[in-house]
Amino acid sequence: MTTFHFELVSPERVLFSGSVDSVVVPASEGDMTVLAGHAPTMSTLKPGVVTVTEGKGSPRRLFVRGGFVDINSTGLSILAEHAIPLEDLKPEMIAADIKNAMDDVADAKSVEARVAAQARLDGLKQLQGAVVN
């Protein structure tokens, strides 16, 4: 399989940089699988799991919340607002974040605030499902 360069960067650090076989990206339009030679694309990220496949090893999975995806002739770049490897997440930490997000939805004073809080809650629930699976 032909490889391509992939880089995942968050404000805190570079989480991945190297050659990969494929990457599944949670783009705002829907999940997309990126392979070598993918058409140039720019998109925003929705909260979800990026799955990175390198060679024959197990895929690497990272949770991202917000950011941008850029696919071009040199490869794939993800600039994430927040990113963390799934193995670094603790179920109790996610449960506490979900409770806080539910409170934010209930306490929202405007439609915009409620929509933003609900989007965060939905992303956290998706993360919780990814950690359990």
Per residue in 45-59, pLDDT (tens digit) is 988 889 999 988 789
Confidence of residue 101 (pLDDT cuts 50, 70, 90): very high
Please indicate, yes or no, whether residues 9 and 74 belong to a single structural domain of this protein. yes
Please indicate, yes or no, whether residues 81 and 36 belong to a single structural domain of this protein. yes
pTM, rounded to two decimals: 0.78
Confidence of residue 133 (pLDDT cuts 50, 70, 90): low
Please indicate, yes or no, whether residues 11 and 52 belong to a single structural domain of this protein. yes
User: What's the per-residue H, E or C state across 79-133?
Assistant: EEEEEEEHHHCCHHHHHHHHHHHHHHHHHCCCHHHHHHHHHHHHHHHHHHHHHHC
Per residue in 50-86, pLDDT (tens digit) is 999 998 878 999 988 889 999 999 999 999 998 989 8
Provide the pLDDT for residue 132. Answer: 66
Q: Which domain holds residue 110?
A: 90-132
